[in-house]
Amino acid sequence: GVVILTNTSNAGSAMFRAVSNTIVDSYLGLADFGWVKKYKAYLKESINLGDAITNEVWETVKKNKNTPINEDVYIGVYEDSWFGKVEVFKKGTQLWIKSHRSPKLNGAMHFFQANTFAVKWEYQDMNADAFAMFTLDENGKAVKMKLKGISPNIDFSFDFQDLNLKRIK
């Protein structure tokens, strides 16, 4: 057996598959199958697909820029029992979201469609722009918010889908 231990994102799985397959093939005396090149091409294709999806989202945001929305419906403080408080507020003329516990998760919210906004975090060293999706009550006021990474290539450590943000204010 071959064991390869890594501390990497999902994209890194191509690397350890290429390495393990190459080792196994070599051990079995098989010809070089070009695993590294194959997985590199696969990874590049995956990145390009993720970029295309992300670009499409931001194009939709551009098209919907002038859609009238009642921002007051979304403004408030939301809380997840593990992650803590997240605030949606007005900064100038723009809706913003700010995590009280994770200061890098602070950024502008751009209307996407329905009750969903695309969030562009101020800290752009991470590929983690996200959707903020709101659930409204019978009066049309936001009572819950879920986050979801925009790109399918978002780093696995952003567990946005695990947050259950409920409005507290």
Cβ within 8 Å of residue 68, ≥6 positions away: none
pLDDT over threshold 70, residue 10: no
pLDDT at 123: 86
Beta partners for residue 106, in sequence order: 98
pLDDT in tens, 79-97: 999 999 999 999 999 999 9
pLDDT in tens, 137-157: 999 999 999 999 999 888 777
Comparing CA positions, the residue from 92, 59, 95 lying closest to residue 76 is: 95
What is the rounded distance in angstroms from the CA atom of residue 74 to the CA atom of residue 87?
A: 10
pLDDT in tens, 26-65: 999 999 899 989 888 888 888 888 889 999 999 999 999 9
pLDDT over threshold 90, residue 8: no
What is the rounded distance in angstroms from the CA atom of residue 55 to the CA atom of residue 96?
A: 21
What is the rounded distance in angstroms from the CA atom of residue 35 to the CA atom of residue 2?
A: 16
pLDDT over threshold 90, residue 69: yes
